[in-house]
């Protein structure tokens, strides 16, 4: 693509969770060499970029999202040379590399925190968020951790509380401190100078907090809408998160990140923005001094129905302005969409194809999670198989992260789906192995049809760059047009369980691709069609 429409704008990004992709050294855990060995497969998907979840040095309390050294590769995944080899081969194949940056917090084993906790007067004393106890010894305020309980942990060495939005082993950095900002930007510069093409910014709206540490107000639970990842049995969601995230100072720091990225040409940032305010994700990507893209959570909830999809698209278009969304239906934190949206009916294959077609026709960039191209369902894990601290805490009511992180399946007849010759860190279920890459050679397999969808999207400018106009309907069809430079496409997706009559615009010609309905008068349940006007 030209610089007028950089590669990331409308591109397809394939998310790889390194622990679960390919195990080159046969120790049961995926690694960077394994990913490098599978890059020809990734290239065959026609994607523009890979997003790699964290592979940095870490005690793995949160499986890499607790970083103890931002510039080193954890031995679990290999070495820095292994990453350089991965980067070189990916670029040779025309694939960009986006890496996770977890800069709202570190591991408590990071050298910065170890120094900070020594005293209230050491050079890094203000690099984390420290507060005195209340006179009765209780935490400074009512802020809660997403992983349960208070967001404050008492440190007997410093004799103060430190803040953690997640695990107590993940203390929050004080990004109000310019020295901390400088240090974090230095860590990011290291990877840019190595040649990475951008960053996925973990919990990008958690960077700043209220300096007055005011209590969050309670949420009206009588009209509770759990939203994305929210459950009424997690006390974190009992509050309106007014003061512990989405602070206005966030935007000034994002401007510094954007300025750094701009030094390196056509690079990109995509921010994870999970907010109580549905307009916040759009705000984080407006203008040329914030994020390039905001990672949308709108389709990561459990809500099903064409009305929900139409409403979500309209809301994004009404809010986004000159910003740019990045859509996803699944990732490493949520149950796989084929199962999470089971309420649409039909079989898993039908749902997988329809959901991938929806993703590939939306306005914005696309994040496709590993295994979605195979149509993998969410496996059910027993309690003694769980390793994720959040799943363990919420069992059995909100289990999902371990299930969506089970290993990628490559060979249907091999042990553990061909992921590893030894017992993997999470189990591989038989129904996953049956959908392995080598079993999906038929032209109409979910894998091959998804490949075709991505290739087809890349060669239709109206899908990569075009506007979107949603058609109001009162049935289970999601209908919209995509338009760019004289090319107009008409998209109709039947999300319902009954056939629906369709009326393509006058003069429209059906695009005859194998994964689309070819019926010119009706749409069968869970099928879609695209016409060129």
Omega of the bond leading into 396 within 30 degrees of 0 (cis): yes
Confidence at residue 230, expressed as pLDDT on a 0 to 100 scale: 55
Q: What's the pLDDT score for residue 345?
A: 95
Question: Can you give the pLDDT at residue 514?
Answer: 58
Average pLDDT over the chain, rounded to whole? 94
| CA distances to 18, 397, 454, 514 from 351, in Å | 26, 24, 17, 16
| DSSP one-letter code for 399 | -
Delimit the domains of the chain by residue range.
Answer: 12-106+178-457, 466-532
Question: Do 476 and 500 meet the contact criterion of CB atoms below 8 Å apart?
Answer: yes
Confidence at residue 297, expressed as pLDDT on a 0 to 100 scale: 84
* The pLDDT of residue 458: 94
pLDDT recorded at residue 231: 58
Cα distance from N-terminal residue to C-terminal residue, the chain: 24
pLDDT at 1: 36
Encode 40-66: b = buried (16+ Cβ within 10 Å), e = exposed.
eebeebbbbbbbbbbbbbbebbbbbbb
**pLDDT per residue over 409-453, tens digit each?**
999 999 999 999 999 999 999 999 999 999 999 999 999 999 999
pLDDT tens string 514-532: 567 777 889 999 999 999 9
What are 457's two structure tokens?
């999207």
- All residue ranges of the chain with pLDDT < 50 are 1-3, 228-229
Query: CATH topology for 12-106+178-457?
Result: TIM Barrel (3.20.20)
Distances from the Cα of 248 to the Cα of 79, 102, 243, 279, angstroms: 38, 20, 10, 14
Distance between CA 281 and CA 291 in Å, rounded?
Answer: 10
* Catalytically annotated residues: 202, 263
Please name every residue paired with 150 in a beta bridge, in sequence order, or none if there are none. Answer: 144
User: What tokens does 14 get?
Assistant: 């394939």
User: What is the pLDDT, as a whole number, of residue 229?
Assistant: 47
| Architecture in CATH for domain 466-532 | Sandwich (2.60)
Q: Which two tokens stand for residue 488?
A: 């107009």
């Amino acid at each position: 693509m030209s610089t007028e429409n950089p590669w990331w704008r409308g591109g397809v990004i394939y998310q790889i969770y390194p622990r679960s992709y390919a195990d080159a050294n046969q120790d049961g855990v995926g690694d960077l060499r394994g990913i490098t060995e599978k890059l020809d497969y990734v290239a065959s998907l026609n994607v523009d970029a890979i997003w790699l979840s964290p592979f940095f040095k870490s005690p793995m309390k949160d499986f890499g999202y607790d970083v103890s050294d931002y510039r080193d590769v954890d031995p679990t995944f290999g070495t820095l040379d292994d990453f350089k080899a991965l980067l070189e081969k990916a670029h040779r194949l025309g694939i960009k590399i986006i890496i996770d940056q977890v800069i709202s917090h570190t591991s408590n084993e990071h050298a910065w925190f170890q120094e900070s906790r020594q005293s209230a007067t050491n050079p890094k004393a203000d690099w984390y968020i420290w507060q005195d106890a209340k006179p009765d010894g209780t935490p400074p305020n009512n802020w809660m951790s997403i992983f349960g309980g208070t967001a404050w942990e008492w440190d007997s060495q410093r004799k103060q509380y430190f803040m953690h939005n997640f695990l107590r082993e993940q203390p929050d950095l004080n990004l109000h401190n310019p020295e901390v900002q400088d240090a974090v930007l230095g860590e990011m510069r290291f990877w840019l100078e190595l040649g990475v093409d951008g960053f996925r910014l973990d919990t990008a709206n958690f960077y700043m907090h209220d300096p007055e540490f005011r209590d969050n107000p309670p949420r009206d639970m009588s009209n509770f809408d759990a939203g994305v990842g929210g459950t009424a049995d997690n006390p974190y969601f009992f509050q309106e998160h007014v003061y512990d995230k989405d602070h206005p100072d966030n935007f000034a720091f994002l401007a510094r990140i954007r300025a750094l990225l701009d030094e390196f040409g056509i690079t990109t940032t995509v921010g994870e923005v999970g907010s109580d305010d549905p307009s916040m994700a759009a705000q984080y990507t407006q203008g040329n001094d914030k994020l390039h893209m905001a990672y949308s959570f709108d389709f990561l909830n459990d809500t099903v129905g064409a009305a929900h999809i139409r409403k979500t698209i309209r809301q994004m278009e009404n809010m986004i302005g000159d910003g740019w969304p990045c859509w996803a239906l699944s990732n490493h934190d949520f149950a796989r969409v084929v199962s999470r949206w089971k309420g649409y009916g039909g079989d898993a294959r039908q749902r997988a194809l329809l959901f991938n077609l929806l993703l590939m026709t939306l306005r914005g960039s696309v994040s496709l999670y590993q295994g979605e191209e195979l149509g993998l369902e969410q496996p059910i894990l027993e309690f003694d198989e769980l390793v994720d601290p959040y799943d363990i805490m919420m069992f059995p009511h909100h289990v999902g992260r371990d299930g969506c992180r089970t290993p990628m399946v490559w060979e249907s007849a091999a042990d553990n789906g061909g992921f590893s010759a030894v017992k993997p860190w999470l189990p591989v279920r038989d129904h996953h192995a049956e959908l392995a890459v080598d079993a999906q050679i038929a032209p109409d397999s979910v894998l091959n049809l998804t490949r075709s969808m991505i290739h087809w999207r890349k060669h239709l400018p109206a899908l990569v760059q075009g506007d979107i106009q949603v058609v109001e309907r009162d049935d289970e069809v999601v209908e919209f047009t995509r338009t760019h430079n004289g090319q107009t496409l008409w998209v109709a997706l039947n999300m319902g369980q009954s056939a629906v009559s369709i009326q393509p615009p006058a003069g429209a010609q059906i695009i005859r691709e194998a994964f689309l309905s070819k019926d010119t008068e009706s749409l069968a349940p869970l099928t879609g069609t695209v016409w060129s006007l």
